[in-house]
Amino acid sequence: MVLAPADAERILVEHSPEQEAWPHHCRQVAKVARLIGEALLDQGHSLDVELLTSQALLHDIGRAKTHGPLHGWTGFVMLRDLGFPKSGRGCLTHWLKGRAVDEVRAAKAWKPSLADRAFKALEPTLWELADSVLSFADSSVQHTTIVPVTQRHQDLLDRYGDSSWLRRAAELGEDHGAEITAALGFPVEHLLTPLFGDSVDGH
């Protein structure tokens, strides 16, 4: 079963702790993902924008339980247990971010077997254009503010420290932007520039 965005918003509200900004981050990511998704539809691409919006709204829901590196997996399990694995895809894809399974297996923060389980949970198995849109949208929202991708990833490096994992995330965010640009036939930045600085008050 697939959640409509209004149902995803309801689940987000139900799992939003007081005083936390991450649910607003999710709403901003959903705003960007929907904007890009609709532009891709206009260009003739087939994309389920409602599903994409729901996935974006819920991509960080695992933060209701942990802010650690496994919040993506945790969020997916939460949504799968609620009966909505398709809507939990964004929890997995914003974590894996298009990396190959061997890259994820090699990370020190979890056991290689978890990487295998995460990839096995991807349905469909292959990375899709909609996954790139969610990844790029997540790469475009710093806390609750829409910003250029380079700024967002520099902030992550500053906050969490330099690592090959985060550098790869930055590279993949840029790659997904380039993929979207090619699919649109014009620079994706043309869509986002008017939104740079757009923010949501996190309580």
Instruction: Enumerate binding residues for Fe ion (CB under 5 A).
Output: 60, 138
Angle, helices 129-138/89-96, rounded to nearest 10 degrees = 70
| Choice between 47 and 59, CB closer to Fe ion | 59
Nearer to Fe ion, 1 or 130 (CB): 130
- Least separation in angstroms between residue 145's CB and Fe ion is 13
- What is the Cα–Cα distance from 201 to 100, expressed in whole angstroms? 36
Q: How far is the CB of 70 from Fe ion (least distance, A)?
A: 14
Of residues 71 and 183, the one with the C-beta less far from Fe ion: 71
State the burial class of residue 1 (Cβ atoms within 10 Å of its Cβ: 0-12, 13-18, 19+). Answer: exposed
Supply the minimum distance, in Å, between the C-beta of residue 24 and Fe ion.
11
Burial 73-109 (b: 16+ CB within 10 A, else e): bbbbbbbeeeebbbbbbbbbbbbbbbbeeeebbebee
Q: How far is the CB of 43 from Fe ion (least distance, A)?
A: 25
Closest separation in Å from C-beta 177 to Fe ion:
16
Residue nearest to Fe ion (CB): 138
Cβ–Cβ under 8 Å, residues 128 and 98: no
Phi–psi pair at 84, nearest 5 degrees: -125, 60
Closer residue to Fe ion, CB minimum distance, 45 or 198: 198
DSSP 3-state of 142? strand
Nearer to Fe ion, 9 or 138 (CB): 138
Residue 61 C-beta: closest distance to Fe ion, Å: 10
Closer CB to Fe ion, 60 or 179, in the complex: 60
Measured in whole angstroms, the distance separating CA 19 from the mean position of its chain's CA atoms is 22
